[in-house]
Structure 1
């Protein structure tokens, strides 16, 4: 039964991912025709690196909470679970990760805590790096979304482990669950933030490889690309009801890129970026699923020691 549920989950997720491509096919085809194969290859490699940065952010938080996982099983749980973001609704990825993690001995509450902690870590680090890089490269490009940066002080407070642990304890009690056995530490949070920042840098390189073929070059290319992508991702992730921030991220990216590239090329770049990321998700999920078959995960709950 579990196998059938997992297959059904993958088919639905892949179906919505395919719909995201087909619905914008004309613009995608025109955009890819303007890109060199070198730019596409570099962009895809950078996306895979960025997705790995996101996985390591989540993995470091999960380990700090008491469930360290080997790289390959952790990659399978994260990347396959993340395909759920293409299904409408915000809970599919965490539900998938909770069930897959349970098979490796990770308590469901711990998987959920790591998932929901990853979002503010990525959001906060994304806002910080976008503010710094856009102000350093092209300050006017961030002007339409200056209000977003007001969230940075709020998220900075949330990054304090004592605050996070108090919020997690309160939430679990409200749900009638036992508190987490191990609180989050400052070292764990700093490790997660470090991986998140590396991920944003890789995402910026992915966008820079595409933007370069549309005429943008020079010293500001990489910092501007890092900031443009991070800001558009943060705006997209705030729209939880849309699959993977579909549409919102592209609109924000067009607004940021249009003053530099022009509206037409900006739209094309945003569509190409979306498709390369979908391909990256599929590559990571497929590779992680194949590699994890070589590992045999723990068969006991990492908290109680009882068989899973």
Structure 2
């Protein structure tokens, strides 16, 4: 039964992902025609690395909360669960991760806590990275988004472990749940932030590989790309009702890229970036699922469940 539910979840997620791509297929095809195969390959590799950084951010938080997972099972839970972001509604990824994590002995409240902490960690680090890199590469490009950067100090306070632990504890009490057995530590939070920063760097390289093919060149383009992608992602993630920030991120990216690209080229870059990320999600989910299946040991999982429970 669980296998059928998981297959249905994957099919629905893939269906919505394909629908999002099909709606803009002509524009996407025209955009990819302007890019070389080496640039596309580099962009895909960079996206896979960036998605890996996101997985390691989540894994670091989960481990700090008391459920360290081996790399391959953790990758399977994270990447397969993340396909749920293509389904309308914001809770499908966390529901999938909670159920898959439970099979590895991770309590559901702990999975939910790690999931909901990952987003503000990525949001805070993304806004910080975008402010620094945009100011360094092209100072005037950051001015229209100064209002968003005001969230950085707010998120810095909100991500203080004592504040996080108090909020999680309050939420669990309101839900009638037991408190987390192990509170979040500053070391765990800093580790997660470190992985998130590496992820933003890789995302920037993925966008830079596309931009170099469309006009601008020079080392400042790579720096600018990091900030442009991070800012557009942060603006997109604030719109929780849209699957995976679809549309919002692209509109934001076109606006952020305006200082270095004409509108047509900016739209091309945004659409190509979206498709490369969809491809990266599929590659990571498929690879993680195969790797975990090959190394899955029922006795080891049973031991893990006893330890984590």
Bin for the TM-score computed over the shorter chain: over 0.9
3-state DSSP of counterpart to 1:34? coil
CA deviations 1:234-273 (Å, max 9, x no partner) are 0000000000000000000000112211101000000000
Match of 2:80 in 1: 80
Match of 1:123 in 2: 123
CA distance in structure 2 between the aligned counterparts of 1:204 and 1:70, rounded to whole angstroms: 28
- 4+ runs of 1 displaced by more than 4 Å? 300-306
3-state DSSP of counterpart to 2:190? helix
CA distance in structure 2 between the aligned counterparts of 1:129 and 1:240, rounded to whole angstroms: 22
Structure 2 contact 103–305 (Cα < 8 Å) conserved: no
CA distance in structure 2 between the aligned counterparts of 1:78 and 1:305, rounded to whole angstroms: 18
CA distance in structure 2 between the aligned counterparts of 1:250 and 1:140, rounded to whole angstroms: 21
CA deviations 1:280-302 (Å, max 9, x no partner) are 00000000000001222522575
TM-score by length of 2: 0.97
- Over 3 Å counting, the alpha-carbon distance change for 1:155 and 1:29 in structure 2 is same
CA displacement at 1:72 relative to structure 2: 0.2
Q: Which runs of 5+ in 1 are unaligned?
A: none
- Over 3 Å counting, the alpha-carbon distance change for 1:172 and 1:300 in structure 2 is farther
CA distance in structure 2 between the aligned counterparts of 1:174 and 1:248, rounded to whole angstroms: 33
State the superposition RMSD in angstroms. 1.2
- Over 3 Å counting, the alpha-carbon distance change for 1:127 and 1:3 in structure 2 is same
Q: Which runs of 5+ in 2 are unaligned?
A: none
Counterpart mapping for 1:259-270 below 5 A: 259-270=259-270
Counterpart mapping for 1:4-15 below 5 A: 4-15=4-15
CA deviations 1:87-145 (Å, max 9, x no partner) are 00000000000000000000000000000000000000000000000011112222222
**2:198 maps to 1:198:** yes
CA displacement at 1:304 relative to structure 2: 6.9
Structure 1 contact 107–303 (Cα < 8 Å) conserved: no
CA distance in structure 2 between the aligned counterparts of 1:239 and 1:22, rounded to whole angstroms: 22
3-state DSSP of counterpart to 2:69? coil
CA displacement at 1:219 relative to structure 2: 2.2
3-state DSSP of counterpart to 1:259? coil
CA distance in structure 2 between the aligned counterparts of 1:232 and 1:52, rounded to whole angstroms: 19
CA distance in structure 2 between the aligned counterparts of 1:101 and 1:221, rounded to whole angstroms: 40
Match of 2:236 in 1: 236
Structure 2 contact 172–178 (Cα < 8 Å) conserved: yes
CA distance in structure 1 between the aligned counterparts of 2:37 and 2:110, rounded to whole angstroms: 42
Match of 1:68 in 2: 68
Structure 2 contact 157–163 (Cα < 8 Å) conserved: yes
Match of 2:296 in 1: 295
- Over 3 Å counting, the alpha-carbon distance change for 1:180 and 1:302 in structure 2 is farther
